[in-house]
Amino acid sequence: MTCDLGLPCETCFAASSFWPRCVRSGPVIPTSQNGVRGLMLDMHEFDDDIWLCHGKCDVATAFQPALMVLKEVQIFLHENPSEIITIMIEDHVESPKGLTKLFDAAGIRNLSFPLSRMPKDGRDWPTVYDMVQKNQRLVVFTSNDDKQASEGIAYQWNYMVENQCKYFIAPL
């Protein structure tokens, strides 16, 4: 089943989840070329590296090394100098400076929007023009609040909010 432009959907009846979920397990560049500018990446340590996995990483659930996807992000940003990408990391990386080393290896840390410029106290974000001119076109958030102090990566709930919703399944 395909939901939208190459995003395969799955429904997990075994987990009593009847709502389809769309996941991307292939290359990121075609998705970016179709207008996607936000990535939610579940990062885990596995096999002496950082991998993208949904849930606990093992041989069956490991999608691919995170470095491969981040290198695709680097290519996209290099080829599209006026574009901005946002990455939201579900962060299960425990090695010291693990994400910093990963972003350095991918060649994209230099494109990151710095924590020092993140808006505080309800202030406005900079304009796209400003971010492009300063070549700070990668906005990264982590789910691990410790990483804000240890690696300078913005803790997501200091800068974003989430709508809470409940699903109701009508009886058949």
| CA–CA separation, 81 and 133 (whole Å) | 9
In this structure, is residue 12 part of a structural domain?
Answer: no
In this structure, is residue 116 part of a structural domain?
Answer: yes
Q: Specify which residues 150 forms β-bridges with.
A: none
| CA–CA separation, 57 and 45 (whole Å) | 8
Per the CB < 8 A criterion, the answer to whether 34 and 25 are in contact is no
Question: In this predicted model, what pLDDT tens digit does every residue of 19-74 receive, in sequence order?
Answer: 444 544 555 664 556 666 899 999 999 988 998 988 887 776 667 899 999 999 99
Range of the domain at 80: 26-158
In this structure, is residue 168 part of a structural domain?
Answer: no
pTM for this predicted structure:
0.78
How many domains does one find in the chain?
1
Query: 79: domain CATH number?
Result: 3.20.20.190
In this structure, is residue 15 part of a structural domain?
Answer: no
Of the candidates 129, 150, 155, the one whose C-alpha atom is nearest the C-alpha of residue 140 is 155
In this structure, is residue 141 part of a structural domain?
Answer: yes
Residues of the chain above pLDDT 90, percent: 59
In this structure, is residue 6 part of a structural domain?
Answer: no
In this structure, is residue 13 part of a structural domain?
Answer: no
- pLDDT confidence of residue 166: 76
In this structure, is residue 99 part of a structural domain?
Answer: yes
Long-range contact list for 5-13, CB < 8 A, 24+ apart? 5/30, 5/31, 5/34, 6/30, 6/31, 6/34, 7/31
Question: In this predicted model, what pLDDT tens digit does every residue of 84-111 receive, in sequence order?
Answer: 999 999 999 999 999 999 999 999 999 9
